[in-house]
Chain A
Amino acid sequence: MNSSASMRRDNCRYEVDATALDGPAHRVIRCGPFSFKVETHTAIAALLLAIALVAVATLALAGGAFPLRVGDIVSALLGVGDERAQLVVIEWRLPRVLGAVLIGMALGVSGAIFQSLTRNPLGSPDVIGFSAGSYTGALIVLLHLGGGYWLTAGGAVAGGFGAAALVYALAWRGGVDGFRMILIGIGVSALLGAFNMWMIRQASLQAALGAAFWGAGSLNGLGFDQLRFAALAFAVLLPASAYLAQAMRQMELGDDVARATGVPVMRMRFALTFVGVALTAAATAFAGPIAFIALVAPQVARRMTATASVSILTSALCGGLLLLVADLAVQRAFGNQLPVGVMTVVIGGFYFIWLLVRETRP
């Protein structure tokens, strides 16, 4: 069975090296009217990332002031065993781990979407001002409308969409050119950053401290209440982006080719922008603006898979892993004092400089 190149079960087929022409780089699964092509590199990368994700998550659940063994964690997750271990794992550590993974995934996918739309590895929501806009929205609520968790989250979402609308409006010239959008986005991001600083300066000391802490991006204080809502938002947005990914890939060939092959380009660009902004804004609403995950994750994933396009799945896994690692490193090195956003800025900053040097080289 294993030696045969194709297995048949009823009408379903799993085929290896379907045509020599297409190379050994993919596997094909066909079942009745359905068919899927799985790129081998992408599948391996996804598997490796998933394993790493589980390993780091286990490490995060095990460590800290109250060390646990893997066996304790598994039984705590299953709801059996030592009650104290259950409390530590499920109530204290699990929300933070899940939060890091979910928010990292959202950021990774959002980055993949905008890097694809702009056809540029610099075109990430944290570079082109959407994260800054979310922060502006949240700040207005925190400082002027009295705050409150859900209101702040709403402000972040509204601010993200506002910033996206502004960048698109300024970059619009009978269509949106990716590079012009990035340059304008960087400008808008800088302006919003200054505006955010000014707002914090105007506020009372206590409000300013709260706003500044939130603004650094932190997973502290993420509980199941917020997680449930985050999970709901991402449960809609992540599959939506997977659905739009086919059109997204096609649009990487240029608007003319995409339209000629049947992509309703305007509609798809709007849908992808909506989903991408919503992902960044939702992530920002839950954890504050966490920089550079969206920028880095899709490119790390792309290099791992050695494919031409950024894939949604591997970008998501990579984003989740990066944020989880960054959060764990911060917790272990600095306790709960340092927000994870500071860590991602440090990682991302170096990457950003490297990328700028590489992209602007003639």
Chain B
Amino acid sequence: MTSPHPLRAMDITVGYRDAVLRNLSVAIPEGSFTAIIGPNGCGKSTLLRALARLLKPESGEIFLKGKPIGTYASREVARSLGLLPQSSVAPEGITVAELVARGRYPYQTFLRRWSRQDEVAVADAMAATGVEHLALERVDRLSGGQRQRTWIAMVLAQQTEILLLDEPTTYLDITHQVELLDLCRHLNREGRTLVAVLHDLNLACRYATHVIALRDGAILAEGPPTEIVTADLVRDVFGLSAVIIEDPISGGPLVVPDQKAI
């Protein structure tokens, strides 16, 4: 059974000590590259973590392919849904190939530790992200862009239909941001559903096919960037006065901030 929304949240209230999101419902369209945007502290990462079942909602339910996510075994979820968290730790001295291989954990058992499929998946993931020539390098000696591609390769090795990326472009310079988002777009066009928390509104408009705009834990708008990103929305979401012009490259919206914040 395929549903047009492989991942959805129904009426969830979720947070840490206090609820960050209250009675929020959202559905991720199948095959979309969804960007979650909004100001700092609006609950973007909380939403992503809830969708990835890293945070358990106090109320409400997350549905993965039509079934409550809690009814799946945790390895089963990990075979459908991959996550690149905001912060991750690479053990000192681990190589790129070893780190990518750890993405195969949901397929491995005590007696099945390195199957032919594991090997192929890891090789494919490294090829897709262009890190195969770094296979034997230590992750702690890579540049920021290479390291982020390695982590994405680890998530890709999980071979999931859905990828969740929490601020994948943070700490990267503009060239590497574009390079990484090009990679994301490529992965999306190959058939994966992508959900990414993005900070840069213009990059989100350029790459995403679906945008979810959050403010104070509530969704203000969602839809294709060409339809929803307007001067009004930017003011409502970010409290920023801006002019929207046509992006000369993509033809989509380009947000140009006005002189002063309101």
Contact = CB atoms under 8 A, between A and B. Distances in A.
A19 B85 contact: no
A359 B110 CA distance: 34
Interface of B: 16, 49, 52-54, 73-79, 81-83, 85, 87-95, 97-99, 101-103, 105-106, 108, 110-116, 118-119, 122-123, 126, 132, 135-136, 154, 158
Contacts of B83: 256-257, 260
Give the secondary structure class of B's interface: mixed
Interface stretch (A33-41, A186-194, A286-294, A346-354): A33-41
A262 B102 CA distance: 11
Contacts of B108: 246
Contact of B135 (A21, A33, A259, A261): A21
Contact of A263 (B74, B89, B110, B154): B74
Interface stretch (A144-152, A230-238, A305-313, A335-343): A305-313
B82 A260 contact: yes
6 contacts: A33-B112, A35-B118, A37-B114, A257-B154, A263-B105, A308-B93
A36 B110 CA distance: 9
Interface stretch (A22-30, A50-58, A72-80): A22-30
B110 A253 contact: no
Contact of A261 (B105, B122, B126): B105
Nearest to A245: B110
A28 B114 contact: yes
B119 A246 contact: no
A144 B114 CA distance: 54
A311 to B, nearest CB: 12
Give the secondary structure class of A's interface: loop
A306 B138 CA distance: 12
Contact of B74 (A37, A264, A308, A309): A264
A307 to B, nearest CB: 7
Interface residues of A, number: 34
Contacts of A249: 102
A19 B119 contact: yes
Contacts of B112: 33-35
Contacts of A34: 111-112
Given A119-B89, A254-B88, A262-B105, A23 B114 contact: no
Interface string A248-276: 01101110110111111000000000000
A256 B122 contact: no
A315 to B, nearest CB: 15
Contacts of B110: 243, 246
A21 B105 contact: no
Contacts of A345: none
A19 B123 contact: yes
A253 B91 contact: yes
Contacts of B113: 35-37, 246
Contact of B78 (A25, A252, A261): A261
Given A21-B126, A263-B105, A264-B74, A35 B114 contact: yes
Interface in A295-309: 306-309
Given A252-B91, A256-B83, A256-B87, A262 B106 contact: yes
Contact of A259 (B74, B93, B122, B126): B74
